[in-house]
Amino acid sequence: MGISRKESSNEMWGGRFEGGPAAVMREINNSLALDRRLWRQDIAGSQAHVAMLGAQGIVPAADADAIAEGLGRVAAECEAGRIPDDPALEDIHMATEARLAELVGPVAGRLHTARSRNDQVATDFRLWVRDAIDEVDRGLRSLQRALVARAEEQAATVMPGFTHLQVAQPVTLGHHLLAFHEMIARDRSRFIDSRRRLNESPLGAAALAGTGFPIDRDRTATALGFARPMRNSLDAVSDRDFALDYLQAAAQCALHLSRLAEEFVIWASQPFGFVSLPDAWSTGSSIMPQKRNPDAAELVRGHAGRIVGCATALLVTMKGLPLAYSKDMQDDKPPVFEAHDLLGLSLLAMTGMVETVAFRPDRMRAAAEGGFSTATDLADWLVRVQGIPFREAHHVTGRAVRLAEKRGCRLWELPLEVLRTVDARIDAGVYEVLSVDASVASRRSYGGTAPEEVRARAAEARAELDRE
């Protein structure tokens, strides 16, 4: 007899149990509603496994062919949205096997030869996380392209650079945007590194000890695109480092997206007015008709907290588990799936905002010209031109700032005779460095904010993206 979808899960487990599980046990044990999204990976793993069983003569070739054909039919049904959802079947793995049995009959029972649900689940989940990393990487690459394009466009747009959210020195908007490009590049490297580590196949580890059947684990690993089989069967079924790696990379990435979102929230506020977010990324108020709220950015900021929580949840779940498999590990997927969904939405939202936001260079320049942002340029000029030690130049500049503050003017608006009362070594050449444009133009060191340097780094980044 084949496995009927009407059979209860205890019959799937074999003859050890006489009675069925309690209703609450069925509910707490059932994960089908959640792990149904693993169907592609589950069928791919089963196809690789049965092909190996047939090639090794463990299963008759005709039976292996029949199972493979049946799995193809199950896959077509799932693709059409007809994923088995019988609550009597506790997960996607049993559900697809049960449907296979309906299609090909008792021969379906041979599929599970030399395989446990432990290595099956571990394989499916690794495949899913690998696909998720590839998906996230495409999204991150799109965001990088958007950041580079806007950075090139705004390479010479002057804005205030901040420390402690106080005006510090003038920078260019292009330089500011490229800082986020660098953060995203590191995020991509973390995901790529985690992908490299996870790319080993657990299939063939069976329950925990391997199997006595003459299986070919290299064959199944190659068929599924893994670099090699995992070297220890206990580790293969109990490891969830790959899921933790993914979550920790996702958490770090979400933090970067949250920081960019926070910039947009601040910049869109009326006191700043540095940007105007399009209608597509804004909402209104139910009571205040004048409001234009940066809700998309705020939601990205909020999603970061949830993604960090997902990483924490799995860390705590795994922290005290003995080898090899424990049912706690059924809870490995909800945080990964949730984090992945939230990260995908956040990436789409931030990419859309970067691509379409309207910058306000006039407001940015006005803010950069306030707060005595070129004070460091005065100090540097005193060092470079007059040979004054920097600490002394710092004190001279501080006195000049205090004087401008008292007079209610900018540094470059102080008359030369007034500046010379601060220090007689100051001459007319100082006015060549005191404007915000002169300030940013002078920062030509590698990675600096000078427009020519921003354009060079943006071109370099674009070339790297084009080579991928």
**CA 429, CA 377: separation in Å to the nearest integer?**
12
**CA 49, CA 217: separation in Å to the nearest integer?**
9
**CA 128, CA 336: separation in Å to the nearest integer?**
10
Position 288, amino acid: M
**Cis geometry, peptide bond prior to residue 450 (ω within 30 degrees of 0):** no
Q: CB–CB of 180/194 below 8 Å?
A: no
Per residue in 112-157, pLDDT (tens digit) is 999 999 999 999 999 999 999 999 999 999 999 999 999 999 999 9
Residues with catalytic roles? 164, 285
Residue scoring higher pLDDT (287 or 42): 42
Question: Residue 1: its pLDDT value, please?
Answer: 33
Per residue in 316-344, pLDDT (tens digit) is 999 999 998 898 898 999 999 999 999 99
Of the pLDDT bands very low, low, confident and very high (cuts 50, 70, 90), residue 201 is very high
Q: Which domains, and CATH codes, for the chain?
A: 23-110 (1.10.275.10), 118-360 (1.20.200.10), 372-467 (1.10.40.30)
Average pLDDT over residues 260-275: 95
**CA 321, CA 51: separation in Å to the nearest integer?**
34
Asked if pLDDT for residue 196 goes beyond 60, the answer is: yes
Q: CB–CB of 114/204 below 8 Å?
A: yes
Average pLDDT over residues 90-97: 89
Of the pLDDT bands very low, low, confident and very high (cuts 50, 70, 90), residue 29 is low
The total number of residues written for the chain in this structure: 468
- Give the largest CA-CA distance in the chain: 103
Average pLDDT over residues 34-56: 95
Q: Is 85 helix (H, G, I), strand (E, B) or coil?
A: coil
Phi, psi of 448 (to 5 degrees): -80, 180
Which DSSP state fits 287? Answer: S
Which DSSP state fits 200? Answer: E
Q: Is 161 helix (H, G, I), strand (E, B) or coil?
A: strand
Closest-CA residue to 456 (of 98, 86, 63, 178): 178
* pTM attached to this predicted model: 0.89
